[in-house]
Structure 1
Amino acid sequence: MKKFVLFVMLMMCVVSVNAQRWSLTPEVGMTAISRGGGFYSDEQKWNSRWKMGVGVEYAVKPDFFSLKSGLYYTQRGYSYNTITYGSIYPTGAEQSDVMFGEIRSKRNSHILQVPLMANFSFRLADDVRLNLAAGPYVGYSLGDKDQYSYMEYTPGTGYGYGGYSSNGYYGGNSYGGGWTGTGFGHEGWTHDNPFDWGVSLQVGVEVKQWVMNVGYDASLGKEYKGDKCDLKYHTLSLSVGYKFKLGK
């Protein structure tokens, strides 16, 4: 009986010591997303999204080296508007040949992300530490909301755009009786290729138990079947959190 009691006490001490190496950090913040490629250059413009989740950290060597993971919800996507032109300067062309179009497209993906990063910690002052972390991540898309619309405009009765002047420059500026627009739109959810993976980098400042992190993610996974693995998205993030140290 005494041996059993001693064994239980020893195991409790081991668990207590190991628990002190673990910590949980709820975080919330904003992200800035830019598409890595795409047919339209407007797809590569930066746009804002959200990020939130809980980080898990295990101190391999306390106050110097640790492993970081967690579960995060983040958003990813792009939006662009572009104008397409038809024959807007034809001399003597039919009025129906004078036209232009407007394309609007938007995607918002809802991602669950799990990173695994090696973290190095450096003491800057009392209760202030600098953290540098890097490693891969895997992600799973809960769904992609796509919005797409196309409008085509042709002139009504009247002059349309006008034509060339005698000196060779575009001289028409009358819009006649206005423009007639026809088009179509689509909005729906897709789930072409839900799995994502990439690389994460992170720089953080820890003041007592408050944490502020600046991160960068490079998404390398396929967005749909038949796609190739290349740089899909750049993601910059800024988040704040509070670290709960376990076992204390």
Structure 2
Amino acid sequence: MKKKVVMVCMLMTSICSLYAQNVTLAPEMGISAVQRYGWGQEWRPSAKIGVSVDFNLTNHFGIESGLFYTFRGYSISNGGTYSNGKFTWTENVSQTRHFLQIPVLAQFRWTLNKNTKMFFGVGPYVAFCLKNRFDSNPYYMNGAYPGKYEQYYDGFMYGEDAMGNSNLFLYEEARNFDWGVSSNIGIETNHWYAKLQYDLSLGKEGKNDVIGANYHTLTLSVGYKFGL
């Protein structure tokens, strides 16, 4: 799946660069709200900066791509009560992941007046993790504070809850590749534009994850277009 998504994105970008009537570059920056489905308890703030590239095939249709930096993650407070037979604790964890993201969106445009256009885009994206930060802050409810010879996993204590569910999944090494779908809607006037974008992460974050809705990201951004 990883190779197929990357190849499709590269192929679409290559074809559009050959047939584009004109190409525009646009430095872009925005603020985001991110939620990790199933794990995160609430929306978290984020940011998104980069350069957007539009391959304009006609006056009303083109392909939007570019390169963007963004970060996302989740936090879990009281995310389960675990025990290893000697100690019982409540798990509190937080993870933040930093990505380079490349979208390939079909973009549709409508002229509102001489200087103003409305646009809508939809398509896939691929992303590559640059850095991953994970923090654990367990709250011990009984038993002495664990010594250096107690049972650990990658530097963190682990155990099972009353139902036999392990907390090991919290400490699995996250995958560096992500993919998903994006859509946006916005307005452009005198080369300036503002848009609202939604990204849905579908890639597996951990080795035991399944392909499905993982992260939901809403971004409000602004940019300025330069013709090439």
> Do both share a fold (TM > 0.5)?
yes
Residue 33 of structure 1, CA deviation: 0.4
Given that 2:172 and 2:206 are in contact with CA atoms closer than 8 Å, whether structure 1 keeps it comes out as no
Match of 2:48?
51
Give the direction of change, closer, same or farther, for the CA distance of 1:105–1:114 in structure 2 (3 Å limit): same
Return the alpha-carbon distance in structure 1 between the equivalents of residues 199 and 97 of structure 2: 15
Give the direction of change, closer, same or farther, for the CA distance of 1:83–1:139 in structure 2 (3 Å limit): closer
Return the alpha-carbon distance in structure 2 between the equivalents of residues 67 and 83 of structure 1: 42
Given that 1:149 and 1:183 are in contact with CA atoms closer than 8 Å, whether structure 2 keeps it comes out as no
Is residue 2:65 matched to residue 1:69?
yes
RMSD, aligned CA: 2.7
Residue 76 of structure 1, CA deviation: 1.0
Paired residue secondary structure (2:57)? strand
Paired residue secondary structure (1:61)? coil
Larger Rg: 1
Paired residue secondary structure (1:221)? coil
Given that 1:143 and 1:190 are in contact with CA atoms closer than 8 Å, whether structure 2 keeps it comes out as no
Instruction: Report the more deviating stretch, 77-86 or 213-222.
Output: 77-86
Match of 2:30?
29
Return the alpha-carbon distance in structure 2 between the equivalents of residues 102 and 55 of structure 1: 44
Letter in 2 for 1:28: M
Match of 2:6?
none
Match of 1:210?
192
Q: Deviations over 1:131-186 (max 9, x none)?
A: 100000111111210001102145xxxxxxxxxxxxxxxxxxxxxxxxx9846985
Paired residue secondary structure (1:125)? coil
Letter in 2 for 1:51: K
Residue 36 of structure 1, CA deviation: 1.6
Give the direction of change, closer, same or farther, for the CA distance of 1:19–1:146 in structure 2 (3 Å limit): same
Residue 19 of structure 1, CA deviation: 8.3
> Given the two structures, how large is their TM-score scaled by the length of structure 1?
0.67
Return the alpha-carbon distance in structure 2 between the equivalents of residues 241 and 200 of structure 1: 18
Structure 1 gap segments, 5+ residues each: 1-17, 87-98, 155-179
Match of 2:214?
232
Structure 2 gap segments, 5+ residues each: 1-18, 148-154, 157-170
Return the alpha-carbon distance in structure 2 between the equivalents of residues 226 and 83 of structure 1: 18
Match of 2:152?
none
> Given the two structures, how large is their TM-score scaled by the length of structure 2?
0.73
Q: Deviations over 1:50-108 (max 9, x none)?
A: 1100000111002x11111000001110112127679xxxxxxxxxxxx9844321110
Identity rate, percent: 37
Given that 2:108 and 2:120 are in contact with CA atoms closer than 8 Å, whether structure 1 keeps it comes out as yes
Match of 2:110?
122
1:1-248 alignment, distance < 5 Å: 21-38=22-39, 43-62=40-59, 64-82=60-78, 101-154=89-142, 182=145, 192-246=174-228
Letter in 2 for 1:53: G
